Amino acid sequence: MIVTALRLTARRCLSTTTPALSGALKAAAAAKQGHQAVVESWNVNCNGATDYLVGPRPEQWWTGKPPVYGVCPGVDEDNVIRALAQPNLATVTRQQLRDYFDNTWTMTEVLFEGLQTEEPFYRPPYHNLRHPKIFYYAHPASVYVNKFRVAGLISAPINEYYEHIFETGVDEMLWDDLSKNDMLWPTVEEVRQYRQEVYDMIVDAIENHPAFDTISQLEASPFWALVMGTEHEKIHLETSSVLMRELPLSLLRRPDNFPPLHPSHQSAPAPNVLVKEGEHYPENEFLPVDAGLVTLGKPRDFPSYGWDNEYGEKQMHVKSFHATKYLISNGEFLEFVKSGGYLDESVWEPEGWKWRCFRNVKWPTFWVSTGPAGLHQYRLRAIFEEIDMPWDWPVNVNLHEAKAFANWRSRKAGLTGENKYRLMTEAEHHRIRDQSMTQTSLGVDRDPSMVADGRAMPEQFGMNLNLAYGSESPVDGLKPASSGFHDVFGNVWQWHEDHMSALPGFRVHPYYNDFTLPCFDGEHNLILGGSYMSCGDEASMFARFHFRPHFFQHSGFRLVEPNRHEPQLVTSCMDNQGPFVGQNPFRSSNKDETERKYAADEVVRQYIHLHYGSGDELPAEARAYPTRRALDIGCNVGGVAFALAERFPEVLGYDINSNAIETAQEIQETGSLQSYVREEGDIKMHFTATPSHQSSRVSFKHGDALCLPPDLGNFDAVVVANVLDRLSSPGSLLGRLGGARGLVKPGGLLFVSSPFSWMERYTPKDLWLGGRETFDGEVSSIDTLHASLNDNFELLEVMDMPFMLREHARKFEYVKAYATVWRHRV
């Protein structure tokens, strides 16, 4: 079969590599080239140099301005640091940019001052889904360097190795997607010195680079890389605070310069006090909201920094609805816990129940049980301490828990079907915002993040943002918006029903072309409103952030009661025209989920037949040389990965399609899979999909080709078969393949094939490798592919590689891929 030709040709090409180096020689080569070494346990990173990491930090800790009043911007008379308001980029001066940068940089170092000894820098989080804190201590600095290089502000790396291993964070695909975290990281002192070098470089650029002389083009100006870096750093200020909240308290100390807890915690009842609504937390009524028209999206001429997903414009008509006046409090959520909600499968969504069982959770993650489970006595874990439970603070949960609570409350109220309580939508959130935010005549003043710093934010706008406090605050503690709702912005992020999707007019920014694109996958839900840790753009009225349902942030929710006459859920992602990852993952107003799932299953069956429908044998010439590791990017249902296992002792297959990965894993676990393709109408031709004899050598991973972990190491062979034209940023993947830190080992082989079937629903047109016209003429995908690889790879072979996808006996999709084989130059 034609697909077997693809598989065998790829194997034949891959098998022509030179014999593998000896283990000792490979280790020496890796050390010489600076490749990350893999160690058996994370604690190998701890070398005992801990003296200055205990207690308050000495002067040498501060690589920027120390958090002292009158020295560092944003530090008050008590030497407490809070975030500055966002600068107006239409009028900003060099000094204002320097102040904004210094404030951001020092906030990071204040937060990390809370880590005591080396251990918390290297200890992985309990869930093993994120990098250790040493990564996040260095990551913002490495991103500044890389973005400055892309923008042309600097021409060379500061530390190329660091700017590789610290560049890419983790977006775990599943709640059981456990990372080994067994890498040998640089020491804390080495990273501190690196941060010093980066700080000095940035300050020099702000003060002296001509790009900062006149700032008029906003997004098109090289200075955008600076504000991109500061806003990126603020994102990780918040995510790092969540990871610290998950650490053992023995490894932490509240930094002297960090904002204090909201004072209301001092009046929280002891754990043995019977919790009562109206006394310990407010009754949460539903307020009516009239129907109306809202406009989503940030104008491109608004003079503040924005991430790519914020721009564009979409108008939506919102039907009338009711929503809870307050965020759901710890006290309200206690009722769910005491009723056995965590043990009641009927109120959980299927994926949420799997997560709950896997983690065996019985109450929210940041609640601390102080006695036997049946007593339901809890305290609250804050970032740096454990306190008596403030029942009137908002509960922190993930999306799975929020939806389970909504289903439980619906059942109590006798609501079923589309009339059940649910979470808010993005458009509904716009309807409950303060009226001033819709008044364009106010200019930048309609966005509180442009007006108030952390110290002024609560009093001026009733918002716990910009590190106003170092914790949540009571859900009824600050003044409401003009709509009557409290905490529309600030306190904790709010989970929404919408998946992250592009607004009409979306375009990527060339300095960061994969910030949001990989997340247009139907797997990331919107969070809006910001939390007490949210600063800068995160605190903006335009901010649209997104996380996977199992992810923990400082996030909560409020409930919505839909319009009883028109209860249908309408989200901002509905009928989205792209770009998106994989097949259209978003809601449709025309197709129900059953039809979409059936269509997806039908495609998977076609690919099973494509990968396993022929029994052709591997030719003898493909068995020439033993090799070690192979990577199949876009492995689909696993046929090529299993074939690679005949020659490679270790094969890793990655694919964004969870159905395909689950199918490959089923074939691997059971040894065969009965499937079928259609002959005509309902008449089917059955066949058996069988993996290779060496199938145990293969590991399958649900993952995005654009978000491969930085600690994967390198491979003797990498296959990128027919996936480039389905990526949101194909150039990003090509850039990851070669070079000193590339996925392909020096001397290793790379197989790339693609029919170049470009579609804007998958890839924005300006990121197509070719097939488009520019001012300089026509752009060819083949030319761009070769130009992208020529610097690091030697071209060995070019061929046309046809294959067919069968729909039924008389209808096939014929595809002729352009295939190339390359060797990574040593």
Q: How far apart (Å, rounded) are the C-alpha atoms in residues 125 and 350?
A: 25
Kindly state whether residue 596 falls inside one of the protein's structural domains. Answer: no
Query: Mean pLDDT over residues 647-655, rounded?
Result: 91
Residue 102 near residue 109 (C-beta atoms within 8 A) = no
Kindly state whether residue 577 falls inside one of the protein's structural domains. Answer: yes
Kindly state whether residue 652 falls inside one of the protein's structural domains. Answer: yes
Structure tokens, 738: 């070669």
Judging by beta carbons within 10 Å of its beta carbon (0-12, 13-18, 19+), is residue 568 exposed, middle or buried?
A: exposed
DSSP for 474-486?
A: -TTSSPPPTTS-S
Q: How far apart (Å, rounded) are the C-alpha atoms in residues 117 and 224?
A: 36
> Is it the case that residue 626 has pLDDT exceeding 60?
no
> Is it the case that residue 173 has pLDDT exceeding 70?
no
Query: Mean pLDDT over residues 777-790, rounded?
Result: 90
Question: What is the structure's pLDDT at 728?
Answer: 83
Identify whether residues 213 and 298 lie together within a single domain: no
In eight-state DSSP terms, residue 703 is -
> Is it the case that residue 391 has pLDDT exceeding 50?
yes
Query: Mean pLDDT over residues 462-471, rounded?
Result: 98
Query: Which of the residue ranges 34-48, 253-267, 268-282, 802-816 would you say has the lowest mean pLDDT?
Result: 34-48
Give SS3 for 120: helix
Query: Mean pLDDT over residues 393-418, rounded?
Result: 97
Helix (H) or strand (E) holding 412: helix 399-413
Identify whether residues 534 and 617 lie together within a single domain: no
| Residues forming beta bridges with residue 424, ordered by sequence position | 496
Sign of the torsion formed by the C-alpha atoms of 342, 344, 350 and 354: positive
Question: What is the structure's pLDDT at 822?
Answer: 93
Sign of the torsion formed by the C-alpha atoms of 266, 271, 272 and 274: positive
For the segment 525-581, what is each residue's pLDDT rounded down to a tens digit? 999 999 999 999 999 999 999 999 999 999 999 999 999 888 899 999 998 888 888
Residue 793 near residue 783 (C-beta atoms within 8 A) = no
Q: In what order do the strands lie in the sheet with 555-556?
A: 545-547, 525-528, 493-499, 555-556
Kindly state whether residue 264 falls inside one of the protein's structural domains. Answer: no
Query: Mean pLDDT over residues 308-313, rounded?
Result: 96
Identify whether residues 671 and 820 lie together within a single domain: yes
Q: How confident is the model at residue 68 (pLDDT cuts 50, 70, 90)?
A: very high
Give SS3 for 651: strand
Give SS3 for 809: coil
Give SS3 for 789: helix
Identify whether residues 368 and 470 lie together within a single domain: yes
Q: How confident is the model at residue 14 (pLDDT cuts 50, 70, 90)?
A: very low
Percentage of residues in the chain having pLDDT higher than 70: 88
> Is it the case that residue 594 has pLDDT exceeding 70?
no
For the segment 345-359, what is each residue's pLDDT rounded down to a tens digit? 999 999 999 999 999
Residue 717 near residue 631 (C-beta atoms within 8 A) = yes
Q: How far apart (Å, rounded) are the C-alpha atoms in residues 333 and 84?
A: 34
> Where residue 362 sits, what CATH number does that domain have?
3.90.1580.10
> Is it the case that residue 172 has pLDDT exceeding 60?
no
Query: Mean pLDDT over residues 650-663, rounded?
Result: 88
- The better pLDDT of the pair 19, 375 is held by 375
Query: Mean pLDDT over residues 191-217, rounded?
Result: 92
Residue 470 near residue 261 (C-beta atoms within 8 A) = yes
DSSP for 133-196?
A: HHHHHHHHHHHHHHHHHHHTS-SS-S-TTHHHHTT-----SSTT------B-PPPHHHHHHHHH
Q: How far apart (Å, rounded) are the C-alpha atoms in residues 726 and 580?
A: 9
Question: What is the structure's pLDDT at 610?
Answer: 57
Question: What is the structure's pLDDT at 628?
Answer: 87
The Cβ-side half-sphere exposure at 764, using a 13 Å CA radius, reads 20
- C-alpha distances (whole Å) from 482 to each of 435, 737, 749 are 6, 53, 62
- Residue 393: Cβ within 10 Å count: 28
DSSP-derived pairing of the beta strands 629-633 and 715-721: parallel
Give SS3 for 232: helix
H-type alpha helices, 613-729 = 639-644, 658-670
Q: How far apart (Å, rounded) are the C-alpha atoms in residues 559 and 402?
A: 9
Q: How far apart (Å, rounded) are the C-alpha atoms in residues 473 and 394?
A: 8
Q: How far apart (Å, rounded) are the C-alpha atoms in residues 245 and 825?
A: 45
Identify whether residues 551 and 646 lie together within a single domain: no
Residue 176 near residue 358 (C-beta atoms within 8 A) = yes
Identify whether residues 612 and 583 lie together within a single domain: no
Q: How far apart (Å, rounded) are the C-alpha atoms in residues 36 and 336?
A: 46
Identify whether residues 815 and 687 lie together within a single domain: yes
Range of the domain at 750: 2-20+605-824
Query: Mean pLDDT over residues 279-288, rounded?
Result: 97
For the segment 494-536, what is each residue's pLDDT rounded down to a tens digit? 999 999 999 999 999 989 988 998 899 899 999 999 999 999 9
DSSP for 262-304?
A: PGGGGGPPPTTSPP-BTTTB---PEEEE--EEEEESB-TTSSS
Kindly state whether residue 266 falls inside one of the protein's structural domains. Answer: no
Residue finishing a domain among 542, 557, 590: 590
> Is it the case that residue 748 has pLDDT exceeding 70?
yes
Helix (H) or strand (E) holding 528: strand 525-528
- The better pLDDT of the pair 454, 663 is held by 454
Identify whether residues 559 and 635 lie together within a single domain: no
The residue behind tokens 């025209």 is 577
- C-alpha distances (whole Å) from 603 to each of 133, 599, 653, 808, 817 are 41, 6, 19, 12, 19
Identify whether residues 63 and 184 lie together within a single domain: yes
Identify whether residues 561 and 628 lie together within a single domain: no
> Is it the case that residue 3 has pLDDT exceeding 50?
no
Query: Mean pLDDT over residues 319-335, rounded?
Result: 98
Q: Give 604-644 as a 3 state SS string.
A: HHHHHHHHHCCCCCCCHHHHCCCCCEEEEECCCCCHHHHHH
Residue finishing a domain among 590, 618, 645: 590
The residue behind tokens 């706008």 is 461
H-type alpha helices, 711-795 = 730-737, 781-789
> Is it the case that residue 280 has pLDDT exceeding 90?
yes
Question: What is the structure's pLDDT at 29?
Answer: 31
Identify whether residues 242 and 310 lie together within a single domain: no
- Name the domain count of the chain: 3
Q: What is the CA radius of gyration of the chain?
A: 27
Kindly state whether residue 418 falls inside one of the protein's structural domains. Answer: yes
The Cβ-side half-sphere exposure at 312, using a 13 Å CA radius, reads 20
Kindly state whether residue 469 falls inside one of the protein's structural domains. Answer: yes
Q: How confident is the model at residue 110 (pLDDT cuts 50, 70, 90)?
A: very high
For the segment 215-257, what is each residue's pLDDT rounded down to a tens digit? 766 788 888 999 999 999 999 999 999 999 999 999 999 999 9
Identify whether residues 243 and 292 lie together within a single domain: no
Residue finishing a domain among 548, 563, 590: 590
Structure tokens, 190: 């080495």
Q: How confident is the model at residue 804 (pLDDT cuts 50, 70, 90)?
A: confident
Between 133-151 and 94-112, two packed helices, what is the crossing angle to 10 degrees? 160
**Averaged pLDDT of the chain:** 87
Bond preceding residue 579 cis, omega within 30 of 0: yes
Measure CA 561 to chain center.
Answer: 30
> Where residue 635 sits, what CATH number does that domain have?
3.40.50.150
Kindly state whether residue 597 falls inside one of the protein's structural domains. Answer: no
Query: Mean pLDDT over residues 385-405, rounded?
Result: 98
User: Cα dihedral angle (430, 436, 440, 441), rounded to 10 degrees?
Assistant: 170
How do the residues of the chain divide into helix, strand and coil, expressed in percent and rounded to 5?
35, 20, 45
Judging by beta carbons within 10 Å of its beta carbon (0-12, 13-18, 19+), is residue 629 exposed, middle or buried?
A: buried
> Is it the case that residue 170 has pLDDT exceeding 70?
no
